[in-house]
Amino acid sequence: MARISVLDLRKKKADNDKIVMVTAYDYTMARLVDRAGVDMVLVGDSLGMVVQGHDDTLPVTLDDVAYHVRCVDRGLARAHLVADMPFMSFQVSPEEALRSAGRLMQYGGAQSVKLEGGERSAPAIERIVEAGIPVVGHVGLTPQSVHAMGGFKVQGRSDQDAERVVRDALAVEAAGAFCIVLEGMPMDVATEITSRLSIPTIGIGAGPSCDGQVLVCYDLLGFDLAFKPRFVKRFAELETTIIGAMEAFAAEVRQGEFPGPEHSFRRKTPRKVAKLY
């Protein structure tokens, strides 16, 4: 089965066909989301928070992302695989950005890379695109700038700030990105960006007018019921299901009910135990 290409994704915008993107970090989840028919799978640097347990995405390294991209790639038959460029893998220079992007493609098996930032990231995007690597931009709430933003805060609330976010999106398109994530911004700002860009916009906390939507897989599956930001909709509550299943397993082991004969192996002719006395 052919993987979804950048051309297929551009066509979806032209056809008004919404793009579905979700994060995944391992082979098992990748297999499931691919079977569900999602269009794009992002190995996000959100792995720093949901897989590694950090408070933000800053500790994630290029090797961390490359490893997870490689695992996810093995689980996909159809979905387009995007590798996130972690903090400090593209900020120092366009050359270093290209080297980092190349590693995610060559070692990880990604089909495109994503990097945060608008005007300031345009030279890095241009350099990567020039080398033939498709780039997904990411503007608005950019988690790698958590300290500069004073927290994970919605961007573009004032007129002046909204103009900055729109300028960032235009700069990403002009630099050659084929797609852009719009994160954490008022929906009218995302609507304006979506109508002004010819590349598809994928929203997260950016309202319904984007050309597609992305969520972190564990958020939409309800792995952590204590975490419920406004932009997340839970399509399952697996925290309850998983804890229930683990408790049932523990109880059966402790009561000697598991494993039963149906989970155990037999020899055709059971060995007689010789009597010693």
Q: Which residues of the chain form contacts with ligand KIV (CB under 6 A)?
A: 23, 42, 44-46, 84, 181, 183, 204, 214, 216
- The nearer residue to ligand KIV, 69 or 214, going by C-beta atoms, is 214
- The nearer residue to ligand KIV, 72 or 214, going by C-beta atoms, is 214
Least distance (Å) between residue 65 CB and ligand KIV: 10
Least distance (Å) between residue 163 CB and ligand KIV: 23
- The nearer residue to ligand KIV, 46 or 271, going by C-beta atoms, is 46
How many degrees, rounded to 5, is the angle at CA 72 between CA 68 and CA 74?
125
Least distance (Å) between residue 144 CB and ligand KIV: 9
Which of 116, 126, 173, 183 is labelled catalytic? Answer: 183
- The nearer residue to ligand KIV, 34 or 183, going by C-beta atoms, is 183
Q: Which of 185, 237, 233, 177 is nearest to 207 (CA)?
A: 185
Q: Tell me, yes or no, if 163 is annotated catalytic.
A: no
- The nearer residue to ligand KIV, 48 or 186, going by C-beta atoms, is 48
Residue of this chain nearest to ligand KIV (CB atom): 44
Least distance (Å) between residue 142 CB and ligand KIV: 9
**Tokens of residue 94, six digits:** 């366009």
Least distance (Å) between residue 155 CB and ligand KIV: 14
**3-state helix/strand/coil string of the chain:** CCCCCHHHHHHHHHCCCCEEEEECCCHHHHHHHHHCCCCEEEECCCHHHHCCCCCCCCCCCHHHHHHHHHHHHCCCCCCEEEEECCCCCCCCCHHHHHHHHHHHHHCCCCCEEECCECHHHHHHHHHHHHCCCCEEEEEECCHHHHHHHCCCCCCCCCHHHHHHHHHHHHHHHHHCCCEEEEECCCHHHHHHHHHHCCCCEEEECCCCCCCEEEECHHHHCCCCCCCCCCCCCCCCCHHHHHHHHHHHHHHHHHCCCCCCHHHCCCCCCCCCCCCCC
The residues annotated as belonging to the active site are 183
